[in-house]
Amino acid sequence: MAVITINSSDAGPKALASTRAAVVRSFRRGDRAFRLVTFTAALSVLIILCGVMLSLLFGAWPALRTFGFGFFIHATWNPVKDVFGALAAIYGTLVTSVLAMLLAVPVSFGIAVFLTELCPWWLRRPIGIAVELLAGIPSIIYGIWGLFVFLPFVQSYIQPFLINLFAPVPVLNVLFAGPPYGIGTFSAAFILAIMVVPFITAVTRDVFETVPAVLKEAAYGIGATRLEVVRRVVVPYTRTGLVGGVMLGLGRALGETMAVTFVIGNAHAISSSLLAPGTTISAVIANEFNEATDPMYISSLIALGLILFFITFVVLAISRLLLMRIEKAEAK
pLDDT in tens, the chain (332 residues): 444 454 545 456 777 777 777 777 777 888 888 899 999 999 999 999 899 999 999 999 999 999 999 999 998 898 888 899 999 999 999 999 999 999 999 999 999 999 988 888 888 888 888 888 888 888 899 999 999 999 999 999 999 999 999 989 898 889 998 888 889 999 999 999 999 999 999 889 988 988 888 988 898 888 888 888 888 889 888 888 888 888 888 888 888 888 999 999 988 889 889 999 999 999 999 898 888 888 999 999 999 999 999 998 888 888 888 777 777 766 66
Write down the domain spans for the chain: 12-67, 70-331
Are 183 and 263 spatial neighbours (Cβ–Cβ below 8 Å)? Answer: yes
81-91 burial code (b ≥16 CB/10 A, e <16): eeebbbbbbbb
Please give the model's pTM, rounded to 2 decimal places. 0.84
If one counts every other C-beta atom within 10 angstroms of the C-beta of residue 318, the result is 12
pLDDT for 18 equals 77
Please name the residues in contact with 201: beta carbons below 8 A apart, sequence gap of 6 or more: 108, 111, 112, 131
pLDDT the model gives residue 162: 92
CATH architecture under which domain 70-331 falls: Orthogonal Bundle (1.10)
Q: Are 219 and 100 in contact (CB under 8 A)?
A: no
For residue 128, the model assigns a pLDDT of 85
